[in-house]
């Protein structure tokens, strides 16, 4: 397995819309393994393929405190959503920022698992929020898009400044 580079806001590649996965093969399973390694090392509780510059409809999550509940969702599709969850969200592609976002509190989602088998699950709470956050990435959408334009620009400027400073450290 290998750790992958995570794209950071405002990288335009984060705005690409992902295409459906057409074959769940060994190459895809290798990518899934690398995505888990990258997510756990970061550390984060979810990662979409878009964030590692692979524009396929694939995401991984593990919201458990002890990294024992990995989920792989390929070509995920939300069938039902209801309720409201307000969560302070962060994102590996927007490091250091946490803002409250409103999403559905409960979802039913259909997807292919890592064997390529169709699955459906009903989830609520943090896992439901995380899946919705990662599915946004597949559409080229970031959690900062839910914030005001002024706030988003502030975050963008700060992250660009941080990167410029990081760039001159030798
Ligand atoms: Zn994210």
pLDDT tens per residue, range 102-130: 999 999 999 999 999 999 999 999 999 99
pLDDT for the residue numbered 168: 75
Q: Is 134 a catalytic residue?
A: yes
| Residues within 5 Å of ion ligand 1, judged at the Cβ atom | 91
Separation of CA 157 and ligand 1 centre (Å): 18
Separation of CA 133 and ligand 1 centre (Å): 6
User: What is the rounded CA–CA span in Å between residue 85 and residue 22?
Assistant: 33
Write down the catalytic residue from 117, 134, 139, 160. Answer: 134
How far from 107 is each of 36, 110, 115, 120, CA to CA, in Å? 23, 10, 23, 10
- 156 three-state secondary structure: helix
- 139 three-state secondary structure: coil
Q: Are strands 118-124 and 58-61 parallel, antiparallel or unpaired?
A: unpaired
Q: What whole-number percentage of the chain has pLDDT above 70? A: 99
Separation of CA 119 and ligand 1 centre (Å): 23
Residue 19 DSSP code = B
pTM: 0.95
User: What is the Cα 168 distance to its own chain's centre?
Assistant: 29
pLDDT for the residue numbered 84: 97
């Amino acid at each position: 397995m290998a750790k992958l580079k995570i794209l950071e806001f405002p990288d335009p590649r984060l705005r690409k819309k992902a295409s459906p996965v057409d074959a769940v093969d060994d190459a895809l399973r290798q990518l899934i393994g690398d995505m888990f390694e990258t997510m756990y090392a970061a550390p984060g509780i979810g990662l979409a393929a878009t964030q590692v510059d692979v524009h396929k409809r694939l995401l991984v999550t593990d919201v458990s405190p002890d990294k024992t509940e990995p989920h792989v969702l390929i070509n995920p599709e939300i069938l039902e959503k209801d309720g409201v969850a307000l969560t302070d969200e962060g994102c590996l592609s927007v490091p250091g920022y946490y803002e409250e976002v409103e999403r559905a509190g409960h979802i039913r989602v259909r997807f292919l698992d890592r064997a390529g088998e169709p699955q459906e699950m009903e989830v609520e709470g943090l896992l439901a929020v995380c899946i919705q956050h990662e599915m946004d990435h597949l559409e080229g959408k970031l959690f900062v898009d839910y914030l005001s334009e002024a706030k988003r620009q502030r975050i963008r400027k700060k992250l660009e400044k941080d990167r410029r400073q990081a760039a001159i450290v030798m």
